[in-house]
A and B are shown apart, each in its own frame.
Chain A
């Protein structure tokens, strides 16, 4: 697969509070082909601060894609999604909702808030890894992302 973006790594922002899931995602991405840099925000407040480059995150890179868990402490994932899509500076960034919930309400709500897609985290490790790979394949190689 040709590397996109002139060879620079893809910036991925992972908004996830479970360290276990963060690590799994990291491992899965490591096994992939695309060079990527993973930034992790463990709650909604941190996520928005990183995105808006506030305070300690003034030099944070702008993510090319956001992987967002819905169940976050403090500011809930749905609110982060809403905030991102309302923010004119941020709303072009594709947001992939990656969460444990299969609930219809969550799916509907996420799409209503303009999530780019909704993925339920598989319980099986192999499947999880396959999903992360698919996200890579689709969003980072097939899809053309907007310039940041």
Chain B
């Protein structure tokens, strides 16, 4: 983009790189021509500038509430489901573990039952062996196995009884076994007693009845059944444990897998949304940058345009005046009139261009704000400018004013414009009185310039600060209508706000805000 800087334009004219000239301040390449200058040039605690902006009447940034966008809903659902799955998986694992404990306990019991059964049987055999030995020899020592076997068998039976408490079928068999055991043991005891008392033949006779043999065979059967059933139980438990374990493993694995997938979905959705947002933000920032640039260029353009218009305008203005002077009365009355209008037009064009230049210089020539004592500044102003007081009988009164952060020459301009307006738009029959005051709250100083003049109709309030807008004809009140527009530009350039209270016939009060600071050395 070819630079529109005045220095560059001058360079084109002279054909050489120009010496630094007016407008070089406007040539900031990053286009900092707008309100951001205040933040750039001021050494003020970080929050202050932006908080000033917010409080000084700029529209506050809408607070960003967490909206429930679709990606967020999906992500939340995914994460919740995933969490739920994890909980389920944990529950399942716990259940499986408890099952396994029960199963292994049952397994152990079966093993013990089988063990007790074997011990019982071997004890019974021992008892038989002892009995036989004694029957044959008649010697007491041969009874030892019988004695120990009987005790052991009864012991084992007692264990079996308690161990099969939970299994009705098995318990019934154990009861049956007990009965048979007592029968057999009774038989054994009888034969032993007979041998002891009556000798071998008597004992042999009982044996030969085969009662003992038959009982033992029954016992064998019951034991076989007991053992088989118990073994079947045992195998069943083993199988159950195994299948439970596999089932649980499979369920847990799929549950975890699903939970993992859901979390990935959740994260992916959120990341996608974040990227989108990043993209939007970047676009916004780009747009804002390009806006800033175009604003800066527009300002430079306005400045250059109005500056370069001065020269040809001077020619038109000067020569029409010269014509008017040299040929006054010599070209006829009409010519004088025509020239008069041309001269007047040129003069007004000159004023307008000067005002435009002034207006554009507010930002291009703006100095970084410094602490400025408004009281001293206004006092200075009143001393410098000859406000038309004597001829109107008017007066200007000033209250104590605070210290503010501002470009002093621009602030002076604002006061000058407002005060002179207050004096200019006076009631024809009343001496004008302009009063300047201020109030400070929360680091914001609100200045008021109040007059007792003709007032402004509220329907014109919004047009008031527009450039070149006038509410009266030039015959009534002079001026191009730029004074208030300049005030507004200066005030807004400092991050403040300007507005008016007024009623026709009563007067007007113009208010504007600026960042206030404590004068150095005091609260």
Contacts and interface: CB of A to CB of B under 8 A. Distances in A.
A71 B310 contact: no
A21 B318 CA distance: 9
Contact of B14 (A76, A106, A123): A76
Nearest to B7: A105
A76 B19 contact: yes
A20 B318 contact: yes
Contact of A121 (B19, B313, B314, B354): B314
A74 B310 CA distance: 21
B13 A71 contact: yes
Contacts of A75: 14, 16
Contacts of B313: 123
Interface residues of B, number: 23
Contacts, number: 66
Nearest to B343: A125
Contacts of A123: 310, 313-314, 317, 350, 354
Contact of B21 (A18, A101, A124, A126): A101
Given A79-B16, A105-B24, A24 B10 contact: no
B347 to A, nearest CB: 8
Interface in A68-113: 71-76, 78-79, 100-103, 105-106, 109
A80 to B, nearest CB: 10
Interface string B22-45: 101000000000000000000000
A53 to B, nearest CB: 24
20 contacts: A24-B319, A72-B14, A73-B15, A74-B14, A74-B16, A76-B10, A76-B16, A76-B18, A76-B19, A100-B311, A101-B21, A103-B21, A103-B22, A105-B19, A106-B22, A123-B310, A123-B350, A123-B354, A125-B321, A126-B321
B503 interface: no
Contact of A125 (B18, B20, B318): B318
B22 A105 contact: yes
A139 interface: no
Interface in A98-147: 100-103, 105-106, 109, 121, 123-126, 128
B143 to A, nearest CB: 138
A136 B313 CA distance: 26
Contacts of A121: 314
Interface string B278-314: 0000000000000000000000000000000011011
A125 B16 contact: no
- Residue in B19, B21, B318, B322 whose Cβ sees the most chain A Cβ within 10 Å: B318
B315 interface: yes
A73 B350 CA distance: 25
The 6 closest A-B pairs by CB, nearest first: A103-B22, A125-B321, A20-B315, A125-B318, A76-B14, A74-B15
A61 to B, nearest CB: 26
B358 to A, nearest CB: 12
Interface in B414-432: none
Nearest to B24: A105
A118 B22 CA distance: 16
A105 B321 contact: no
Contact of A73 (B14, B318, B321): B14
A43 to B, nearest CB: 9
A124 B320 CA distance: 11
A73 B311 contact: no
- Residue in A18, A79, A105, A126 whose Cβ sees the most chain B Cβ within 10 Å: A105
Nearest to A126: B321
Nearest to A113: B19
Nearest to B350: A123
A122 to B, nearest CB: 9
Contact of B310 (A21, A76, A100, A105): A100
A71 B24 CA distance: 16
A105 B315 contact: no
Contact of B311 (A18, A44, A102, A103): A18
A18 B318 CA distance: 13
A24 B24 contact: no
Interface in A20-50: 20-21, 24, 27, 44
Contact of A71 (B14, B314, B319, B350): B14
A78 B13 CA distance: 14
Nearest to A20: B315
A34 B21 CA distance: 35
Contacts of B21: 101, 103, 105-106
A128 B13 CA distance: 24
Nearest to A82: B19
B480 to A, nearest CB: 15
Contacts of A125: 317-319, 321-322
B395 to A, nearest CB: 32
B19 A20 contact: no
Nearest to B16: A76
Nearest to B9: A71
Contact of B10 (A20, A21, A71, A109): A71
Nearest to B20: A105
Given A124-B317, A125-B318, A125-B322, A78 B311 contact: no
Contact of B322 (A27, A74, A79): A27
Contacts of B350: 123
Contacts of A74: 14-16
A79 to B, nearest CB: 7
A44 to B, nearest CB: 8
A71 B12 CA distance: 11
Contacts of B24: 105
A109 B18 CA distance: 12
Interface string B73-91: 0000000000000000000
B389 to A, nearest CB: 26
B319 A20 contact: yes
- Residue in B10, B20, B314, B322 whose Cβ sees the most chain A Cβ within 10 Å: B314
Contacts of A72: 13-14
B517 to A, nearest CB: 28
A21 to B, nearest CB: 8
